[in-house]
């Protein structure tokens, strides 16, 4: 998906994303874009190889300028995590030790709980080529590992941030839906409005010879109303339906010779067959 909606309130909260010795400015920019996609905004950089600020990062961020402008550079990982209460380290490699290894879903849920409790949290991401060292992982509280193909477990740093950011956003969907994604309230229609829609549809159909033969008209109307009344309409839905019928009424209301399309086709067929017989 592309594009943004400037009328929406910008979501900018959640755990800090900490990149340890990132190498390419383009990767930092794509990380910033992934963060912005899913409501994260705090980017911390530990000794970026090419220095900071980095124009290539800004270009690759695709207008996630609030993330780029707010990025803070630290000399050491210890400095980057001193003010945090809880930290996850991401890695695809198996590690054995005393730290729990969590899935992204579990980790995002934990981070969400701590965020609601007012704790400051962070997620560590290692270098593009070889990730985090054992010593760096030791500074974290827990490990998060992505479920990837064991034979091809390497993730681009922006992909890893994207996956974690997505699960972070998903963990708070209940909160977001309460404020941003509520459906437009629609008032239920009255029976009088529905009856008016029935009458408009039936009159339009009758003018076009739909009820044929005439003796079957009452039953056809019953069937039509049964189909249209299988669910409750809102006032807006009734209005839409009636607008469609009104639009159709702008065109001729009956076929030449007051015949239905089916009758017209039959007449043409008979005439063609008759000409063939005469020959």
pLDDT digits (tens, 9 = 90+) for 61-71: 988 999 999 99
Question: Phi-psi bin for 186: left (phi > 0), alpha (psi -120 to 50), beta?
Answer: beta
Say whether pLDDT at 266 is over 50: no
pLDDT recorded at residue 160: 92
* Band of pLDDT at residue 149, cut at 50, 70 and 90: confident
Say whether pLDDT at 225 is over 90: no
* Band of pLDDT at residue 42, cut at 50, 70 and 90: very high
Say whether pLDDT at 241 is over 70: yes
Range picked from 115-129, 197-211, 262-276 for highest mean pLDDT: 115-129
Say whether pLDDT at 110 is over 80: yes
Closest by Cα among 247, 251, 254, 243 to 207: 254
Closest by Cα among 78, 85, 77, 147 to 113: 85
Q: Are 72 and 44 in contact (CB under 8 A)?
A: yes
Say whether pLDDT at 52 is over 50: yes
The residues spanned by each domain of the chain are 16-179, 191-278
Listed range (20-34, 109-123, 171-185) with the worst mean pLDDT: 171-185
Residue 17 bridge partners (DSSP): 43, 123
CATH ID of 16-179, from 3.40.50.2000, 1.10.150.530, 3.40.1280.10, 3.30.450.20: 3.40.1280.10
Say whether pLDDT at 197 is over 60: yes
More confident residue, 275 or 55: 55
Say whether pLDDT at 74 is over 80: yes
Residue 128 DSSP one-character state: T
Say whether pLDDT at 247 is over 70: yes
Q: What is the pTM of this model?
A: 0.62
pLDDT recorded at residue 142: 92
pLDDT recorded at residue 97: 66
Say whether pLDDT at 257 is over 50: no
* Band of pLDDT at residue 252, cut at 50, 70 and 90: low
Q: Are 121 and 15 in contact (CB under 8 A)?
A: yes
Residue 44 bridge partners (DSSP): 18, 72
pLDDT recorded at residue 87: 95
Range picked from 167-176, 206-215, 260-269 for highest mean pLDDT: 206-215
pLDDT recorded at residue 270: 46
Residue 107 bridge partners (DSSP): none
The CB density around residue 27, as the number of other CB atoms within 10 Å, is 20
pLDDT recorded at residue 231: 65
CA 28/CA 268 separation, integer angstroms: 71
Q: If DSSP codes are grouped into helix, strand and coil, which group holds residue 143?
A: strand
CA 61/CA 44 separation, integer angstroms: 15
The CB density around residue 196, as the number of other CB atoms within 10 Å, is 14
* Residue percentage of the chain with pLDDT more than 70: 77
CA 54/CA 26 separation, integer angstroms: 9
Say whether pLDDT at 255 is over 60: no
For residues 173-184, give the mean pLDDT: 55
The CB density around residue 36, as the number of other CB atoms within 10 Å, is 24
CA 17/CA 192 separation, integer angstroms: 58
Tokens of 268: 């043409």
CA 240/CA 10 separation, integer angstroms: 33
More confident residue, 99 or 272: 99
CA 82/CA 218 separation, integer angstroms: 80
């Amino acid at each position: 998906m592309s594009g943004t909606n400037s009328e929406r309130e910008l979501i900018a909260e959640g755990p800090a994303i900490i990149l340890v010795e990132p190498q390419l400015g383009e990767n930092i920019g794509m990380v910033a874009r992934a963060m912005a996609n899913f409501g994260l905004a705090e980017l911390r950089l530990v000794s970026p190889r090419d220095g900071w600020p980095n124009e290539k990062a800004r270009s690759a961020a695709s207008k996630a300028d609030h993330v780029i402008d707010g990025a803070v550079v630290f000399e050491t990982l210890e400095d980057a995590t001193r003010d945090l209460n809880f930290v996850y380290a991401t890695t695809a490699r198996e590690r054995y030790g005393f730290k729990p290894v969590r899935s992204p879903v579990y980790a995002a849920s934990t981070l969400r709980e701590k965020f609601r409790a007012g704790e400051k949290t962070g997620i560590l991401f290692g270098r593009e080529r070889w990730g985090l060292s054992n010593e760096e992982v030791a500074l974290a509280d827990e490990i998060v590992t992505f479920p990837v193909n064991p034979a091809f477990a390497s993730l681009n740093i922006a992909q890893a941030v994207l996956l974690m950011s997505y699960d972070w956003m998903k963990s708070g969907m209940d909160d977001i839906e309460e404020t941003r994604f509520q459906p437009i309230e629609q008032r239920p229609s009255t029976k009088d409005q529905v009856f008016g829609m029935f009458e408009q549809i039936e009159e339009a159909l009758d003018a076009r010879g739909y009820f044929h033969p005439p003796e079957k008209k009452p039953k056809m109307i019953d069937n039509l109303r049964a189909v249209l009344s299988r669910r409750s309409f809102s006032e807006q839905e009734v209005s839409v339906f009636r607008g469609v019928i009104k639009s159709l009424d702008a065109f001729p209301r009956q076929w030449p010779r007051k015949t239905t399309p089916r009758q017209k086709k039959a007449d043409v067929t008979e005439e063609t067959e008759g000409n063939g017989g005469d020959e």
